[in-house]
Amino acid sequence: MSAFRIAAPRDKLPAPEHARKKVRKAEKKPPDAMDSKLPLKALRAFEAAARHLSFTKAADEMHVTTGAVSHQIKMLEDALGVKLFHRSNNSLSLSAAGADFLPDIRESFRLLNRATERVAARADAARLVLAVPPTLGSRWLAPRISRFSRLRSDIVVDVVAANAMEDLSHTGFDVAVRYGPVPQVGYESELVVVDEVFPVCSPRLCKGSRPLRKPADLKRFTLLHYPCLLKDYVFADWATWLALAGVDGLGNPRSLTFYPGTMAIDAAVAGAGVALGKGIVATDDLLSGRLVRPFDIDVGLRCEHHLVFPKATRNHPSHIAVRDWLKAELLASSKALKAVC
């Protein structure tokens, strides 16, 4: 028995499969698909022209011709199917559609600019080099640098030890801590804190049957020497401090000399003698009680801590973040020292 089928009229036949696929694809087109067709230049031209109510001023701002702005606006109006401006004689005003369109366009550019700045800041912060004197780096910066890493995980800081008097340009540094301003062309210096220099020792030396109580007692203790730099080519040593303190008659007390200075501070912590210390360098040892200031005498020896950086990096966001953090830490240490010394 043969099978047969009655054909439907041609206009009632189902569409071929490939045609149905095209229809389904069109139906799935997102409602904002037209947005991707709107040229960014045309949107910028519209925002500038709407803000100035002038194609000429918009052209000046965008560094193009007035005709180019007019062309971009026409292209945008054609894409939207509405008029955005009313043009009459030499005046320009927004149409109702243009006035409705403008706030969202401005907000979109604001979000775009904010996103661009955020991404640019990440790229800018790829890696910075921080140069510090060896003793300051090991005793003060090393215990603190992890704080910055936790605060700004997007900024990588490479720390290099650099003698405070050497030319830092070979280090390729981005920020440096120096004991004095830098006279080199192309760099800026900012004074952050002025630090006092004074004797420090283990608290054990201030106890016992023959304790260290007054400067004259130093003749019974070992003096720990190291190059205590106050600023470029100006050092403080025991002879300087003793003279300013009005102490004489010590003869030739025992002494040990160290370089770098961190070894002299270590020796003082161990009770090997008395060292001259910069307050900032000895901050943690003084706050913890590993070191004490045996004499309440200020002879006026001071050390300036400057932040130095290339002028070209003054406004880089990541560089500003590192400098601001260093300033905050130095000032916090100085304040903490004043409470205990």
Match domain 128-193+304-340 to its CATH number in 3.40.47.10, 3.40.309.10, 3.40.190.10, 3.40.50.300.
Answer: 3.40.190.10
- Do 35-123 and 194-302 have matching folds? no
Q: Name the DSSP letter for residue 289.
A: T
Mean pLDDT of the chain: 84
Lowest mean pLDDT: which of 97-106, 127-136, 228-237, 246-255? 228-237
Question: What pLDDT score was predicted for residue 30?
Answer: 42
Lowest mean pLDDT: which of 15-19, 35-39, 122-126? 15-19
pLDDT digits (tens, 9 = 90+) for 213-243: 999 999 999 999 987 776 655 677 898 899 9
Cα–Cα distance between 164 and 176 in angstroms, integer? 9
Question: What pLDDT score was predicted for residue 281?
Answer: 93
Question: What pLDDT score was predicted for residue 306?
Answer: 93
pLDDT digits (tens, 9 = 90+) for 304-319: 999 999 888 899 999 9
Lowest mean pLDDT: which of 153-167, 224-238, 275-289, 320-334? 224-238
Contact 198, 293 (CB under 8 A): yes
**What's the length of the chain?**
341
Between the CA of residue 10 and those of 22, 32, 306, what are the distances in Å? 20, 36, 90
pLDDT digits (tens, 9 = 90+) for 175-200: 999 987 766 778 899 999 999 999 99
106: pLDDT strictly greater than 80: yes
Q: Which fold has domain 35-123?
A: Arc Repressor Mutant, subunit A (1.10.10)
Concatenated DSSP letters for 158-199?
EEEE--TTS-GGGGT-SEEEESS----TTEEEEEEEEEEEEE
26: pLDDT strictly greater than 60: no
Cα–Cα distance between 284 and 291 in angstroms, integer? 9
pLDDT band at 127 (very low <50, low <70, confident <90, very high): confident
Task: Judge residue 8's burial from the number of C-beta atoms within 10 Å of its C-beta, 0-12 exposed, 13-18 middle, 19 or more buried.
Answer: exposed
Cα–Cα distance between 188 and 170 in angstroms, integer? 17
Cα–Cα distance between 33 and 35 in angstroms, integer? 5
Angle subtended at Cα 309 by Cα 227 and Cα 183, rounded to the nearest 5 degrees: 60
Region 276-298: what's the mean pLDDT?
A: 94
Q: Is the dihedral of CA 240, 241, 246, 248 positive or negative?
A: negative
Q: What token pair was written down for 300?
A: 């006026």
Q: Which fold has domain 194-302?
A: D-Maltodextrin-Binding Protein; domain 2 (3.40.190)
Neighbours of 151 (CB within 10 A): 10
Question: What pLDDT score was predicted for residue 248?
Answer: 84
Domain regions of the chain by residue span = 35-123, 128-193+304-340, 194-302
pLDDT band at 116 (very low <50, low <70, confident <90, very high): confident
pLDDT band at 333 (very low <50, low <70, confident <90, very high): very high
Beta strand pairing status for 128-132 and 157-161?
Answer: parallel
pLDDT band at 164 (very low <50, low <70, confident <90, very high): low
Residue 2 region by backbone torsions, left for phi larger than 0, else alpha for psi between -120 and 50, else beta: beta
Between the CA of residue 161 and those of 37, 134, 231, what are the distances in Å? 55, 5, 17
1: pLDDT strictly greater than 50: no
31: pLDDT strictly greater than 50: no
